[in-house]
């Protein structure tokens, strides 16, 4: 069961990554959070680093900025490929995405 993303102070630091093996290239994540996600020339979505560069290595993560947290969570919820994973930085537990409890 997934909940609304916490948006206040004290919210845990989160990071996001995309499993390109499952990405369908629909671009829904880019529509929700273009500051975090981008489609590459291969038609798959990737996360972007703080310098706006695509992070193309397998399992690359990027921090989820608190003001964009709800957009990133909505991306994970709406992703047809179930390939967006949002996890806590402190312990690596997935809090939004296909492996979230």
Q: Which domains does the chain have, with CATH numbers?
A: 14-96 (3.30.70.20)
Measure the CA–CA gap between 79 and 91, rounded to whole angstroms. 24
Measure the CA–CA gap between 73 and 3, rounded to whole angstroms. 9
Measure the CA–CA gap between 47 and 41, rounded to whole angstroms. 14
Other Cβ atoms within 10 Å of 80 Cβ, number: 11
Sheet holding 62-63, edge to edge: 62-63, 14-18, 84-88, 94-96
What pTM was estimated for this model as a whole? 0.87
Report residue 28 as tokens: 């829904």
Which residues is 17 bridged to in the sheet?
A: 85
pLDDT in tens, the chain (101 residues): 344 455 455 667 999 999 999 999 999 999 999 999 999 999 999 999 989 999 999 999 999 999 999 999 999 999 999 999 999 999 999 999 999 86
């Amino acid at each position: 069961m997934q909940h609304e993303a916490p948006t206040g102070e004290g919210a845990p630091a989160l990071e996001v990554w995309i499993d390109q093996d499952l990405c369908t290239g629909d671009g829904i994540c880019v529509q929700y959070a273009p500051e975090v996600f981008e489609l590459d020339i291969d038609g798959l979505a990737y996360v972007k680093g703080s310098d706006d560069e695509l992070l193309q290595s397998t399992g690359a993560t990027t921090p989820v900025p608190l003001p964009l947290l709800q957009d990133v969570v909505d991306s994970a919820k709406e992703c047809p490929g179930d390939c967006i994973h949002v996890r806590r930085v402190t312990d690596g537990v997935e809090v939004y995405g296909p492996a979230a409890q």
